[in-house]
Every structure is written in structure tokens, then in C-alpha cells.
Amino acid sequence: MPNDQQLRDLRSELTPPDEEPPTLVTEFATGRGRLGTLAVLAAQQRRIIASDRRSLLLLATRCADVPLGAWFAGLADGESAALRTLPAFAAACGPTETPAEPLPGCQAYPSYLAWLSLNGHPSAVAAALVANFTAWGGYCATLAGALRRFHGFDEEACAFFDFFAQPPTALEQAAADALGPTGLTAAREYGRLLQAYEGLFWTTLAELP
């Protein structure tokens, strides 16, 4: 299908093959990461996931009469499943002296997704999200492996990253099916900003004292 190729092109455009992973991911991949930083990540993710779940449910209601509505609802269910894995991950990271208050750089992504849930074209939002999932999933896979190798995390403690590290094949196909020719420009705009805000998330964590 032409839309399949459009989505692949969009993903490649937003995540060039030679792009360096975030500094924080690289540090953990080489055994130099600090667990205290991941404790902050867990605290920020509690807010992010709760917000993203509501945003996805709103998108689901906006297109409830077409298959894309069930697609967004399925993503929201996935956010609920991911949220249930956070306590074990946070406990394994140990306590942190950093307050659990929202960090602006970490909360930019869910704030923009909330905006998209009200103002975005649903099919273009779906394509932009899927294009972003590949990069996020790769970072999660790297962190899961590093936590097992260097910090002895067990399956339960790694379940959060393992969940997001799964390849989004079925999600990609559904998004490609929903993406019309007129939605590609909007999807590119949404995806570029989502990718930038995700980069800001990792940079904010890497710069913690």
C-alpha cells in the first residue's frame, strides 16, 4: 500500500539512521548511568503516562465511529499496563533526593500530545506517534539490557522498558491504513515536534545534578 511506504519514509525522516542516541541512554549502555536519574525518570513517567492515557482516550472518542478509534483506545490500554509496571521499576532504582515535581523539559511531550488530542487530525496524530515509537522503543530496549547487565535488575524491575521495547508492527499497519494523502504534511509536523519534545525529555534527565 502507498501509505505503508509513506509511514516508513516519515519514520526515516524523523529518525535518521545515523542519529546518536540520547546521552543518558549511552551512559547506561556503557555502565556509567546513575540509578538516581532513573528514579526521577520513573517519577516523571507517572505523570506522563497518566496524561497520555487521557489524551489517547480523547482521540478515541473523536473518531469512535471508525477503526482508528479502537486503535487509540488500545494505546490507552497499553498506557494503563505500562503504569502498572512502574512501582517495581521505581523501587529497584532506589530513593532519590530530587523532588517528584514535574520537570518542564520532561512534561513537554505529554503537554503537546494533550494539545494534539484536541486540535490534531487523528489519522495524522496516529502516524506521528508510530513514527516516534521506533526511536523510543529502541532506547527502552537499550536501557532494559543495560539494567540487567550492569545493575542486576530482574524481569519485574525491567518490565517497564521491556513493554515499550516491543516492535509496534501491528500499530504501524493500522496507522498506515488510516493515513490519507492529505494527512502526511500534518503527520510530519506533529512527528517532528513529538521527536523534539522526546529529545528534550532525555536531555532534561541527563542534565540533572
Domain definitions of the chain by residue range: 22-206
Q: pLDDT of 37-88, one tens digit each?
A: 999 999 999 999 999 999 999 999 999 998 889 889 999 999 999 999 999 9
Cα distances (angstroms) measured from residue 134 to each of 22, 58, 100, 165, 178? 14, 23, 28, 9, 18
Please write the tens of the pLDDT for every residue from 90-137. 999 988 766 679 999 999 999 999 999 999 999 899 888 987 888 888
Whether this model's pTM surpasses 0.85: yes
How many other CB atoms sit within 10 Å of the CB of residue 96?
Answer: 19
Q: Is 196 exposed, middle or buried (0-12, 13-18, 19+ CB in 10 A)?
A: middle
- Least Cα distance to 55 among 135, 105, 122 occurs for 122
Q: Which fold has domain 22-206?
A: Heme Oxygenase; Chain A (1.20.910)
Task: Tell me the three cell numbers of residue 166.
Answer: 516491543
CB 199, CB 22: distance < 8 Å: yes
CB 159 within 8 A of CB 41: no
DSSP classification of residue 166: S
